[in-house]
Amino acid sequence: MITIAVTAEGPDEPRVAVSPETVKKLVALGAKVKVQSGAGLRSRFSDEMLKAQGAEIVDGAAAAIEDADILLKVRRPGADELGSMKPGALVAAMIEPYGDRAALEAAAGRGATLFSMEFMPRITRAQSMDVLSSQANLAGYKAVVDGASMFGQALPMMMTAAGTVPAAKIFIMGVGVAGLQAIATARRLGGIVSATDVRPATKEQVQSLGAKFIAVEDDEFKQAQTAAGYAKAMSAEYQAKQNELVANHIKIQDIVITTALIPGRPAPRLITRAMVESMKPGSVIVDLAAERGGNCEATVPGETVEVNGVKIAGPINLAGTVAVNASSLYAKNLLAFLEVLIDKKEKALKIDWEDEIVKGTLVAKDGKIVHPNLQSAA
């Protein structure tokens, strides 16, 4: 029988790696699921709810981990957790592979087999396992809701006997999963929405949601996308032209949501302090790239600051502020991933190390970092 452990996250992480629904399905796969008492409380999953679906509730992380074949986490497990694991046990989590290199090497050195869910290949078969998309969807939604709350004015146009309330202008910078959800949410709330991205394929997506597309559409723009669908770093010349266009557009915006990230690199700088100072007092910027340095020059990660009357929010783990939904989706992502690793007939681990999903997410094995994207950093 496979033993799967789930432990509580740190004080800054309200999400959990399992839900009552996924516990039931993991048990059906033949697994014993051991959950640290209280692990799900911040996602409103009580011990009783998890136990009712077949989980064994234990006191302390060590008791959950000691005989586990697999450890499921939201964040990278700590040294104490890794030290409690048996050699060769599997860890599936958001490892933050481009973060603290020394901590990653230390984790690998503990002998666990580490799978980084952020490295999930963008292939059809892996869509149900894509943690970045499931969490970014919620972050994009919450960014608009929080931005609207900070703005303190109505978003839709309202025509009343006393006069007309104009619609708020909302600008989304970066049209990935988070950006598309932000556009959709802003449109539902009645804002006048525009969006920008360096990838040409996003233009049609933006327009299909009823928003206006803003970009310098030159030859470089037409080549600004990797085969995997990510944005490429743009030349200084293109950035200058795009910055000029954005600078003129941003002056008249009420709410700006920035979502631009490039894997393995600091967040691109999209909004300068001069741009912020050109905005109207009372305007709002929500910077979803704050954890990677921020898209806005004035962003302070984890804080909301004010520059010339413009509020700039740099939220950390925005998906975690809707932890019930975030944990439910993340747990389903992990369940789908484990189904690749488990033989349903034998009810045992059966890992095909050449499988595209396994190879794509495997970060460390046998004490060494093995992912090709991380070799150059060694």
Catalytic positions: 122, 127, 130, 133, 230
Distance CA 266, CA 131 (A): 20
Distance CA 139, CA 289 (A): 11
According to DSSP, residue 166 is labeled P
Q: Can you spell out the DSSP letters for 125-174?
A: GGGGG-HHHHHHHHHHHHHHHHHHHHH-S--S-EEETTEEEPPPEEEEE-
For residues 270 and 247, the answer to whether their CB atoms sit within 8 Å is no
Token pair 């990278």: residue: 76
Distance CA 188, CA 37 (A): 40
Q: Which of 16, 58, 118 is nearest to 361 (CA)?
A: 118
For residues 6 and 18, the answer to whether their CB atoms sit within 8 Å is yes
- How far is C-alpha 40 from the geometric centre of its chain's CA atoms? 19
Cα–Cα separations (whole angstroms), residue 13 to 39, 114, 158, 248, 250: 11, 20, 39, 38, 33
Q: Which of 307, 318, 247, 258 is nearest to 283 (CA)?
A: 307
For residues 262 and 231, the answer to whether their CB atoms sit within 8 Å is yes
- How far is C-alpha 300 from the geometric centre of its chain's CA atoms? 19
Token pair 């600091």: residue: 266
Distance CA 167, CA 247 (A): 21
**Token pair in block for residue 332:** 């389903």
Token pair 């915006």: residue: 253
Q: Which of 312, 7, 275 is nearest to 151 (CA)?
A: 312
Distance CA 343, CA 259 (A): 38
Cα–Cα separations (whole angstroms), residue 78 to 8, 89, 95, 137: 11, 15, 11, 27
